[in-house]
Structure 1
């Protein structure tokens, strides 16, 4: 009786507060459908989507290739577990290894799980090859690597990891782009250095070229693994399939998720055959990882994204975004810096507006454009990689109206 009654209740934002754990505070409107780079809410209000599901919806909403792959695989086989393999997982792994430095792939369900696997592999590799004393993991302040207890501790934002009791040990942090600090901390006890090739949650911070090359050299010197967290930067986001390709540095382990499934949950860890050999049967696993439904969708996304047309288009859209954001700033003087790469861009607020990034996010929603933040001072843009230029122009016109209301 009560089940039937609740099923008939209209879904509202107020119902969210009644039934959901309060660790999120989502927008007041509820999106109900999307097409391309446009989204409509329950009141049929239209929004231009510059948030992209936090850099996930790389082909926008309901892309025909994704819908087709999901429908076709949904009528064949959904799930098997890791007791069996499946054709979509093998095909996707083959495409990923053919397109990257990697020779082996481990599938998971999210970026956090891919990072968890990478960190466990690094520790196991170090133990097998060098002994128990080689267990130090170094990461960078303001980094973000997921919300499991291991990954959130490796992430360099204490606000996310404190308040849950004793943390995993052997983890230390230095400032991003500070090669000297890293050099002082590293030793033969270091088993891995984990970094984003462009910090996302930390404020859209690009690495210095000398820094990235120096990190690689220090890892080689101390026989440590270099782990690139490309959960947010990967799969075309910066204008190449993975960001490492533009940095002249190859990691030992790479993690990928978000855009990998274009909106269907999937993550992966990529590495070499030699390093991968340390995860022997039974040492790590995932019930859903490598699910045929997820892998079929991700394969369809790969086939669209890994093309010259799409990757070149990302760079073209980056130029348009930066030009129009700078034009907005010329008229309203609210930004200190416009930065980022490809379609992972950040507009840092100037001192007058410091700490008010969420005000711009909310004002944008009121004007019909969805944006993100990256900390209290940076407005983040991570739209579809194939967003039509007209949608970029229209979305930023709406965003300018929001800026004008706040600044005016």
Structure 2
């Protein structure tokens, strides 16, 4: 049982301090009970102390379905400026808001299909997590699901090569992964619209690939005029250090 939480820690009623290695189910990058953020909310509300906010703090109706107000509009503009000014944000020229990670991935795939004008095949990395419904669910996991959308094909992710720190330091042999990509291109050709992966694997374990692997996917997309989609829902803003996780790898995805 948890009595209270702050930052990256929980406390039990007995006073034990526990590190929260789940980070609040993947994407709570502000930590639990972010005091500095709440202080700004309280100041905006014209209150003297956090406790004066009462139910606003304990049950804030901050959902994705609220009507856009002037406050939210201004906040959105500031957010976009911050995202554009961060390293890696130079190409950010369009933003589409979504209510969830699954919805964001679904919209990214729709955008890729529209951009490539009729191409409908998707290449995804095996063992990833992108969602549970629709195309986002279809590109999650592997081809073992018998009801998988037949527009999705999977390629291998270098799990063995980055299974531990020592393995990850070794040069990676890309020949296997190149062969898989070339085979799919020979089979499907210009039916392929995009390649989608994550900066580190989400569904099959927290595997952080060597940069050469993601650079291979990036180059493949450039060579064949495909849309390169990087799902950074789990890595989130700033979680890996810089604002965008892809800046660790020297790649330039089309949709993040």
| Conservation of the 8 A alpha-carbon contact between 1:37 and 1:48 | yes
Question: Secondary structure of the residue that 1:191 maps to in structure 2?
Answer: strand
1:74 positional shift: 6.8
Report what 2:7 is aligned to: 36
1:100-179 equivalent positions in 2, closer than 5 A: 100=89, 101-127=91-117, 132=118, 134-157=119-142, 162=145, 166-177=147-158, 178-179=177-178
Label 1:71 to 1:247 Cα distance change in 2 as closer, same or farther (>3 A): same
Report what 2:228 is aligned to: 226
Report what 1:238 is aligned to: 240
Instruction: Give structure 1 stretches of 5+ with no counterpart.
Output: 1-28, 255-408
Relative contact order (alpha carbons < 8 A, sep ≥ 6): 1 or 2 greater? 1
| Conservation of the 8 A alpha-carbon contact between 1:145 and 1:154 | yes
Which whole-Å CA distance do the structure 2 matches of 1:103 and 1:119 have between them?
18
1:58 positional shift: 2.3
Higher share in helix: 1
1:73 positional shift: 6.1
Report what 1:81 is aligned to: 67
Post-superposition Cα deviations, 1:382-403, rounded to whole Å, max 9, x if no partner, equal: xxxxxxxxxxxxxxxxxxxxxx
Question: Secondary structure of the residue that 1:114 maps to in structure 2?
Answer: helix
Question: Secondary structure of the residue that 2:190 maps to in structure 1?
Answer: coil
Report what 2:183 is aligned to: 184
Report what 1:356 is aligned to: none
Which whole-Å CA distance do the structure 1 matches of 2:74 and 2:213 have between them?
40
Which whole-Å CA distance do the structure 1 matches of 2:214 and 2:103 have between them?
25
Label 1:46 to 1:184 Cα distance change in 2 as closer, same or farther (>3 A): same
Tell me the matched-pair count. Answer: 216
Higher share in strand: 1
1:191 positional shift: 0.5
Label 1:69 to 1:151 Cα distance change in 2 as closer, same or farther (>3 A): farther
1:215 positional shift: 1.1
Normalised to the residue count of structure 1, the TM-score between the two structures is 0.48
1:158 positional shift: 5.9
1:253 positional shift: 0.2
Question: Secondary structure of the residue that 1:173 maps to in structure 2?
Answer: strand
Normalised to the residue count of structure 2, the TM-score between the two structures is 0.73
| Conservation of the 8 A alpha-carbon contact between 2:29 and 2:236 | no
Partner of residue 82 from structure 2, selected from 95, 105, 124: 95
RMSD over aligned Cα atoms: 2.8
1:344-359 equivalent positions in 2, closer than 5 A: none
1:106 positional shift: 1.4
